[in-house]
């Protein structure tokens, strides 16, 4: 049986380690966030993601792995709305600077072309200051990939 330090109280661990702050003086820290154990929610997210990817592949009839997924900014209203919603989400979560970095990262990954990244970066200034301003999580990047595929799907339906 192995010991898991995450199961112990931080104050007790500090006291055992002999730090200057005793068990009563150490600030209380928040407990670790438990992973989402709701399997139905996870299955729904996975199914929605898979459906969007299959929809995109079916509409474009592309070879698996063809990148970048989004080669140009579509001019159809549905795609414009999807792009605006996505950019609003990025700015709201991570702020303008992190959103710019994320768009560059997506261009490096091949999700969007460098020209699309530049065009979308120019649109970021039109969004208000963020409510949260935190680093992006893997879930935020998954949302971005789904948004990219939705934009591509809108362009493919023309």
> Does the pTM exceed 0.85?
no
Q: What is the pLDDT along the chain (158 residues), one digit of tens a residue?
A: 455 656 666 676 676 677 655 445 545 555 555 555 566 556 656 666 666 666 655 554 444 456 778 888 888 888 899 999 999 999 998 999 999 999 999 999 888 999 999 999 999 988 888 777 789 988 888 889 888 888 888 766 55
> Using CA of residue 12, residue 18, residue 24, residue 26, what is the dihedral sign?
negative
- The angle at the Cα of 31, spanning 28 to 34, to the nearest 5 degrees, equals 175
């Amino acid at each position: 049986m192995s010991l898991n330090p995450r199961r112990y109280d931080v104050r007790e661990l500090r006291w055992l380690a002999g730090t200057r702050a005793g068990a009563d003086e150490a600030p209380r820290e928040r407990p670790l966030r438990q992973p989402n154990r709701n399997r139905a929610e996870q299955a729904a997210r996975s199914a929605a993601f898979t459906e969007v990817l299959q929809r995109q592949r079916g509409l474009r009839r592309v070879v698996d792995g063809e990148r970048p997924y989004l080669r140009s900014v579509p001019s159809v209203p549905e795609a414009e709305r999807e792009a605006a919603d996505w950019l609003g989400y990025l700015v709201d979560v991570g702020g303008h600077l992190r959103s710019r970095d994320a768009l560059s990262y997506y261009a490096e990954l091949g999700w969007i072309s460098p020209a699309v990244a530049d065009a979308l970066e120019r649109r970021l200034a039109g969004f208000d200051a963020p409510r949260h301003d935190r680093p992006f999580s893997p879930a935020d990047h998954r949302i971005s990939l789904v948004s990219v595929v939705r934009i591509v799907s809108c362009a493919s339906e023309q």
